[in-house]
Amino acid sequence: MSNAHSTPLTADFLIIGAGVAGLDLALRLAGHGDVILLSKAAVGESNSYYAQGGIAAVLDPADDLDSHIADTLVAGAGLCHEDTVRQVVENGPRSIRRLLDLGAPFTREAHKGGFHLTKEGGHSTRRVIHTADATGKAVVEILLERVLAHPRIHAYADHMAVDLVTSHKLGMFLPGQPNRCFGCYALEVESGRVLTFQSRFTILASGGAGKVYRYTTNPDVATGDGIAMAYRAGCRVANMEFMQFHPTCLFHPKAKSFLISEAVRGEGGILVLKNGEPFMKRHHPSADLAPRDIVARAIDYEMKRSGDDCVYLDITAKGRDFIEEHFPNIYKKCAELGIDMATEAIPVVPAAHYTCGGVVTDAHGATDLEGLYAIGEVSHTGLHGANRLASNSLLECLVYADAACESMLNRIRERPRFAHPNIPLWDSFGVHSCQEAVLISHNWDEIRRFMSNYVGIVRSNRRLACARRRSELLQQEINEFYWNCSITRDLLELRNISLVASLIIRSAIHRKESRGLHFTTDYPDRDDANWSQDTILPITE
């Protein structure tokens, strides 16, 4: 019996992912055609929803674009594409104005009337606009309300894209014709049916891959599906060695993935050891507000040196009223766990947070595949270089939603509606349901464990070689499950994290220097003469 759904679902635009990038783009496109919006969990469940600190943009008359550009370039450690940085920073204020027009409830400066701007690591001034310490939730809710009410946006929750449908996969190799994307297959998670979605344009807005690591600030959806799908379809993927670890994830047995915002340090919090001794001045002149790669590495070093399980973040000096006003969400979460952040320091550890690499795009989010765009954390636009500057990612989502929308609207006439070949139904002949779920759960654990131990904040040739051997073996095993077992969300995600893990390992092995988020004890120095270019792995089709 086939578990495929027989009628393809069609739209002008197919967006895979409903975080800030996907939601904002859906709203922009809906005035120009029908939009299908897929999300593999509830619509809006995303990294975006959990964003805390805010959105970086030049909003204060005393700030200037060149300063934001310079800070981004410094954080990016020589690998940012300057034209991309300029494009994103220059469009920042406009993107914020649009959110304000939609009703985003950004926090205002007490008694002064303007918006409160906070500070985060690597920024030379206060420029992060925010909604207390739950900015993502506020922005997602504003966008979601409009998306769900829009008659031309058809949102499919719990529908997981499995793979892209391309002309090459359909066996169409016409001379002079590029490889084209026609849509995707997607699993209806509840029923196990596989649906075919066809579109003029397909947009990956599927976020990052923090779940490749055991400890992460990311929610469960962040399994790098878009990066894996694009790579399998023949797109270039760049800079996967640069996985950003956030320095301060709450360390508590009952808290899964809870972030303690960098804004806590921006507003005066300091990192201390168990005995209360501050240590960041020993590592960088900017101390607690040094760029993130430096702070995370310093914490890793101090934890290994002392043998302690965590370090502590102390903001008690600011007093209860200030803390409750600025960080209500964090204050509440800590209190629920018995930590009073007004009187005691918060236990924290670094955790995988942001995927700086991704699917290579041009200045409009267009990928190597005709008809396929990638925006937001799934993409590699050149903005982040070897280390993303705090609060630049929500900004990138918004700026690239705008740029991609403009590009698709300019090209829409070139792509007549549904002049596609007949896409074959999903073929599940001969597969059986996997009777041994333990094989899947064990492999999940194994990948995440060796990635954390061998391909984490500090790497070495030996650790990377061990990781590669394990990764190759697991990939073979997982591919076997994929071809022989009925697909489930768990199995598809495992397939994707195993591919993304291998891309990270191969990229890390390739880069024989230390730079930004990639630090290896075998090549501890930055080597501009040989390594000041992006890592782009060979395409496999």
The footprint of ligand FAD on residues 99-138 (CB under 6 A) is: 135-136
* Rounded alpha-carbon distances, angstroms, from residue 125 to 266, 318, 367, 533: 10, 20, 34, 29
Binding-site string for ligand FAD from residue 250 to residue 289, where x marks contact by CB under 6 A and - marks none: ---------x------------------------------
- Judged by beta carbon, residue 166 or residue 391, the one nearer ligand FAD is 391
* Residue 201 near which of ligand FAD, ligand SIN, none (CB within 5-8 Å, type-dependent): none
Q: How far is the CB of 469 from ligand FAD (least distance, A)?
A: 28
- List interacting residues with ligand SIN (CB under 6 A): 52-53, 261-263, 354, 390-391, 393
* Residue 131 near which of ligand SIN, ligand FAD, none (CB within 5-8 Å, type-dependent): none
Question: CA 332 to CA 335: how far, in whole Å?
Answer: 5
* Residue 196 near which of ligand SIN, ligand FAD, none (CB within 5-8 Å, type-dependent): none
- Judged by beta carbon, residue 72 or residue 393, the one nearer ligand SIN is 393
Q: Work out whether 394 is an interface residue with ligand FAD (CB under 6 A).
A: yes
Match 């230390």 to its residue by tokens.
514
Question: Looking at 14, 30, 51, 181, which residue binds ligand FAD (CB under 6 A)?
Answer: 51
Q: How far is the CB of 470 from ligand SIN (least distance, A)?
A: 29
- Judged by beta carbon, residue 21 or residue 194, the one nearer ligand FAD is 21
Question: Looking at 84, 196, 198, 218, which residue binds ligand FAD (CB under 6 A)?
Answer: 218
Whether residue 235 contacts residue 359, with contact meaning beta carbons closer than 8 Å, is answered with yes
Q: How far is the CB of 496 from ligand SIN (least distance, A)?
A: 22
Q: Work out whether 368 is an interface residue with ligand FAD (CB under 6 A).
A: no
Task: State the Rg of the chain over Cα.
Answer: 23
Hey, how many other C-beta atoms are within 10 angstroms of the C-beta on 193? 16
Closest alpha carbon to 11 in 125, 150, 134 = 150
* Residue 221 near which of ligand SIN, ligand FAD, none (CB within 5-8 Å, type-dependent): ligand FAD
Closest alpha carbon to 372 in 206, 511, 507, 257 = 206
The footprint of ligand FAD on residues 187-216 (CB under 6 A) is: 205-207
- Alpha-helix residue ranges (DSSP H) falling in 385-488: 393-411, 437-454, 461-484
Helix (H) or strand (E) holding 510: helix 489-510
Closest alpha carbon to 466 in 477, 456, 478 = 456
* Residue 46 near which of ligand FAD, ligand SIN, none (CB within 5-8 Å, type-dependent): ligand FAD
Question: CA 79 to CA 387: how far, in whole Å?
Answer: 9
Is residue 126 part of the annotated active site? The answer reads: no
Q: Using DSSP, state whether 469 is helix, strand or coil.
A: helix
Question: Looking at 79, 221, 295, 500, which residue binds ligand FAD (CB under 6 A)?
Answer: 221
Whether residue 196 contacts residue 425, with contact meaning beta carbons closer than 8 Å, is answered with yes
Question: CA 290 to CA 482: how far, in whole Å?
Answer: 44
Match 């195993």 to its residue by tokens.
498
Phi, psi of 58 (to 5 degrees): -85, 105
Give how far the C-alpha of residue 282 lies from the chain's centroid of Cα atoms, to the nearest Å.
31
Q: Work out whether 225 is an interface residue with ligand FAD (CB under 6 A).
A: yes
Q: Work out whether 47 is an interface residue with ligand FAD (CB under 6 A).
A: yes
Q: How far is the CB of 360 from ligand FAD (least distance, A)?
A: 16
Q: For the chain, what is the largest distance between any 2 Cα atoms, rounded to a whole number of angstroms?
A: 70
Q: Work out whether 161 is an interface residue with ligand FAD (CB under 6 A).
A: yes
Question: Looking at 48, 179, 381, 443, which residue binds ligand FAD (CB under 6 A)?
Answer: 48
Question: Looking at 167, 393, 498, 514, which residue binds ligand FAD (CB under 6 A)?
Answer: 393
Q: Of 51-59, 79-87, 469-477, 478-486, which part binds ligand FAD (CB under 6 A)? A: 51-59
Q: How far is the CB of 362 from ligand FAD (least distance, A)?
A: 17
Q: How far is the CB of 211 from ligand FAD (least distance, A)?
A: 10
Whether residue 375 contacts residue 404, with contact meaning beta carbons closer than 8 Å, is answered with yes
Q: Work out whether 230 is an interface residue with ligand FAD (CB under 6 A).
A: no
Q: How far is the CB of 499 from ligand FAD (least distance, A)?
A: 13
Question: CA 529 to CA 259: how far, in whole Å?
Answer: 37
Phi-psi region of 307 (alpha: psi -120 to 50; beta: other; left: phi over 0): left
- Judged by beta carbon, residue 24 or residue 262, the one nearer ligand SIN is 262
**Measured at the alpha carbon of residue 75, what is the angle toward residues 74 and 80, in degrees to the nearest 5?**
75
- Judged by beta carbon, residue 354 or residue 426, the one nearer ligand FAD is 354
- The 10 Å CB-count burial string (b at 16+, else e) for 46-56 is bbbbbbbbbbb
Six-digit token string for 485: 């077992």
Question: CA 72 to CA 382: how far, in whole Å?
Answer: 11
- Judged by beta carbon, residue 199 or residue 391, the one nearer ligand SIN is 391
Q: Work out whether 397 is an interface residue with ligand FAD (CB under 6 A).
A: yes
Six-digit token string for 422: 């007949």
Question: CA 537 to CA 220: how far, in whole Å?
Answer: 26
One of 292, 297, 388, 468 is an active-site residue; which one? 292
Report which residue's Cβ sits closest to ligand FAD.
Answer: 19
- Catalogue the active-site residues: 292
What residues make contact with ligand FAD under the rule CB under 6 A?
16-22, 38-41, 45-48, 50-55, 135-136, 160-161, 205-207, 217-218, 221-222, 225, 259, 354, 376-378, 391-394, 397
